[in-house]
Amino acid sequence: MHEFSLVQGIISSVLETAEKKKARVLSFEVRVGELAQFDIRLVRDLLDQLKEGTPLGGSRVVVKQENSKVRCLSCGSVWGFKEIVRPMSKDEKEVVHYFPELLSSYTKCPSCSKSYFEIEEGRSVRIVELTLDD
């Protein structure tokens, strides 16, 4: 369960920031990238559970999925997660889950069939907003 470790890290980061600023956290928002393939409901539930009993106990938590965006560096075409994984086997999907940088080894641009592209969005998990009460 990777989600548990992920959520522990998020809570630690938010608490550390609040402590440095000597402020109380009112709310924070987390974006979970589609390519990260975390269970967003589990992330949300764990955040709600693990913040209790900490200074984050009364804070509001928002968790949203960030859709992926991949751009072909040959033709400029842009596509998303569903187009990327549709032709992949279960094993290939698992490799991409753990090593998104290997994506070009398992898929090609749907427009020009080249394997030269970059992941622009939807790869990571990040705290995008933190509201503090100074």
CA distance 108 to 80: 12
Tokens of 39: 């269970």
Nearest to 19 by CA among 56, 50, 46: 56
CA distance 58 to 91: 41
Backbone angles phi, psi at 33, to 5 degrees: -65, 140
pTM of the predicted model as reported, rounded to 2 decimal places: 0.78
Q: Where are the domains of the chain?
A: 2-67+122-133, 69-121
What is the tens place of the pLDDT at every residue in 10-65? 999 999 999 999 999 999 999 999 888 789 999 999 999 999 999 999 999 999 99
Domain range 2-67+122-133, CATH class:
alpha beta
Paired sense of beta strands 125-133 and 24-33, if any: antiparallel
Nearest to 36 by CA among 96, 108, 90, 88: 96
CA distance 126 to 93: 22
What is the tens place of the pLDDT at every residue in 58-113? 999 999 999 989 999 999 999 987 787 778 888 988 887 778 778 788 888 889 99
Tokens of 34: 């589609």
Task: Let me know: does 46 contact 107? Beta carbons within 8 Å.
Answer: no
